[in-house]
Structure formats: C-alpha cells, structure tokens
Amino acid sequence: MKQVDAIVLGLGGMGSSALAAFASRGMEVLGLDQEPAPHARGSSHGGSRIIRRAYFEHPDYVPLLRASFEGWRRLERASGLKCLHRTGVLLVGSSRSPILEASRSSAAAHDVPVELFDPDRMRARFPQFSSDRGWSGLFEPGGGFIDPEAGVRAHLELARRAGASIRRPVKVVSIDGDDQEAVVGTDQGELRTSRLVVAAGAWTASLLGDHLRVPLFPQRKAMIWFEPTDPRACSSDEMPAWLIDDGEPAGCYYGVPTWPGQPLPGGVKVGFHGPGSVVDPDATHEITPEVIERFTADLARRLPGVLKRPLAAQACLYTMSPDEHFVIDRLPGRGSMVVVAGFSGHGYKFAPVVGEIAADLAIDGATPRPAAFLNLDRFDEERPH
C-alpha cells in the first residue's frame, strides 16, 4: 500500500477526532481499528458522557474545555448530528466536599458561571436528592452531557467526507519507529508513515510497551440504567446530570437523566467513579448481579424513592494514568509517534480538542493549545517540580 501522510491507530472517541483533524487539514490519513465498526468493547459507548467546566480535576483543563465546547458545537453544525445535551450539571456533597470546593475554585479562576445551593435551597430545587443529609450543591447551568456514539459517528463522517481512509477490522500487533518514520505491524501486513497517532484506549500500554515509559492501568467500570419511579422527575427537563461526593465509599456516584431520543432501554444512567482493579482489556467484561445490587442499595439511600429498578447494565473500560491526568505527547526519541491515552475516566468531553492537539503534535511537533501539563516529562523523576 502507498505510504500515507499519517496513520491513526484506534477509532474510538479520540482517534475518530484525530482522523477528522488530519483530514480537515488536507492530509492523506488512514484510520485503523481492530473492530469492524464503532463498538462497545472500549471506552466510548453507553449513550452519555458528562461535560462540565467547573473542573475539580485541575483548573488547567478549563481552557481546553472551552475549546472542546466550541469543538462540539462545530461538529454538530458540520455533521448535522446532535452530540451535546445541555441539562446543566449538579455536584452534590457536604459543605466540606473536596470536589465541590475544587470545582468552585476552578470556576472562580476561569469565570465559569455556577450557582451554589445551600441545603434548604437544594431540597426545594432538587428534591430528587436525599434531603436528610444536609447536602449542598454546585450547579453549572452550561454543562450537560455528550452522546459518545453520536460523537464518534460525526467525527468519522467528517473524516470520510474530507477524504480520510478507514480500514477495519485491522489488528495492530506491533509499533516501532524513530523521529522520521513509524512502522506499524498489523495482522494484514506492515504499514509505514512519518506520523502515527496512537489512540488505542485501554490497549495503548500493551501496544507501546517500553516506548511509553509510564504504566497505564485498564479498569472495568459499570454503567447501569434504572427505570425512574416518576419519569418526569428524572427527565432532562427536571433533572440535570449529577455527581455525588459524600465520601462513602471512596469515590462518587454520578448519573444522567433520561432524554428525548435516548436509545432503548432508556432510564437514568448511573456510574461510579472510584478505585478499581486492573483488567485485561481483551477479557469478556460483564457486570455481575452483586455490582447491580450494590448500586441499587447505595442509590436508594442517595436518591430515595427515585429509581424503581435496574433495566440494563454494561461494562466500559477506564485507562488510568499514574496521576489520573491525560497523557498527550510525542514519544521521546520517537518523534514520528504521538500518544493520546490515559484519560482516567474523564476524557471523552475533550475529544474534539484532543484530536486537534494530536494533529498539531504530529504535523508541527508542537501545539498552540495549553496542553503542556499533560506531557510525559511530568513523570520524569529528575524533573524539578
């Protein structure tokens, strides 16, 4: 096969966006994925991903989030597909919740409009949440959720329209290269290019091996859909996307309301963002009855009487980096390769800007976006902090 300007390995949330970014710059680009079509074995499925700018993970993400919001709007206009649902996002917790506190300071530092709710106002405005716990709230009206399946479809469609080639299923089995050229071994032969973006999600660490220099840890997470007791109270008209930081257990339950056009079986989607154990991404990922029972019991205490019964459950993979921040960089000593990985359970909302940054790094060796805090050298032991 003729050598192309760039190859994108992995066509999930990040790779589909990188493919569109290369193609929109007039480059001859080839996208590869091991699955025949967008699928539910990686990290970019399940109907919704929360998007917010009052960012407790670190305020440095906020400028990238602004760019992402613009990116989602541009993508919707260009593709005609609805991706962004503005339901607002409500963070719930005690007045000492570290997540509420960090979100409030991120919002203040970057002028993100938020509204604070004391326990009395919380009870009145958001009666779905347990009123006997004295919870406060931080509401970001501009937030909401993204439909990840629509996002991947839209990016792939724009990439195709701009001339990108896609080959799937193709399994990449090896990656090597230097500053000039990357060599991609696949189950259908070898490909060479001067620019390779590795966006292989939970498979990234095993594919890159020692080239990456930092470990990444795939984890399995549950997404469970619940039938609401009162459908209106849990619809996107009445319920924002939400996250509860009550410190027990370590981690947070979060949820997304029902919405018009939601795929079957519908229902309020709930997940848990917290510690997990490392899994093999190639294993069969199922959600056990014990996990569904635990969710059901924990949520009955947090949203009493709101969720009637579980309707469906599905697994999804996180790829944790050691500090839970993204890894976006050219590989040291192998400048033909760019990695975008380690999204640590909070990356999807950034997909439009991550694709642009990946293309910047691969084409120019640098990006004008303020993303240096996500470079690999933060893990260098000798680096002064």
Ligand X SMILES: Cc1cc2nc3c(=O)[nH]c(=O)nc-3n(C[C@H](O)[C@H](O)[C@H](O)COP(=O)(O)OP(=O)(O)OC[C@H]3O[C@@H](n4cnc5c(N)ncnc54)[C@H](O)[C@@H]3O)c2cc1C
* Comparison of 198 and 303: residue with beta carbon closer to ligand X: 198
With respect to ligand X, which residue has the nearer C-beta, 185 or 370? 185
In our burial notation (b when 16+ CB lie closer than 10 A, e otherwise), range 325-345 reads: bbbbbbbeebbbbbbbbbbbb
Q: Which is nearer to ligand X, 65 or 306 (CB)?
A: 65
CB of 15 to ligand X, least distance (A): 5
What is the number of alpha carbons within 13 Å of residue 172 lying toward its C-beta? 28
Measured in Å, how far apart are the chain's first and last C-alpha atoms? 46
**Strand ranges for the chain from DSSP E:** 6-9, 29-32, 49-51, 84-85, 89-93, 115-117, 136-140, 144-146, 165-167, 172-177, 182-186, 189-193, 196-198, 217-228, 241-245, 252-256, 268-273, 307-320, 327-331, 334-341
Tell me whether residue 35 or residue 179 sits nearer to ligand X (CB atom): 35
Q: Which residues bind ligand X (CB under 6 A)?
A: 9-15, 32-35, 42-44, 49-50, 171-172, 199-201, 203, 207, 221, 223, 271, 316-318, 343, 345-349
Helices of type H across 127-252: 148-161, 204-208
Instruction: State in angstroms the smallest separation of the CB of 382 from ligand X.
Output: 29
Shortest gap between Cβ of 319 and ligand X (angstroms)? 7
Q: Measured from the CB of residue 304, what is the shortest distance to ligand X in angstroms?
A: 24
Chain position whose Cβ is nearest to ligand X: 12
Question: Which residue number, 81 or 166, has a Cβ lying nearer to ligand X?
Answer: 166
The minimum distance between CB 346 and ligand X, in angstroms, equals: 5
Asked if residues 224 and 316 have their Cβ atoms less than 8 Å apart, the reply is no
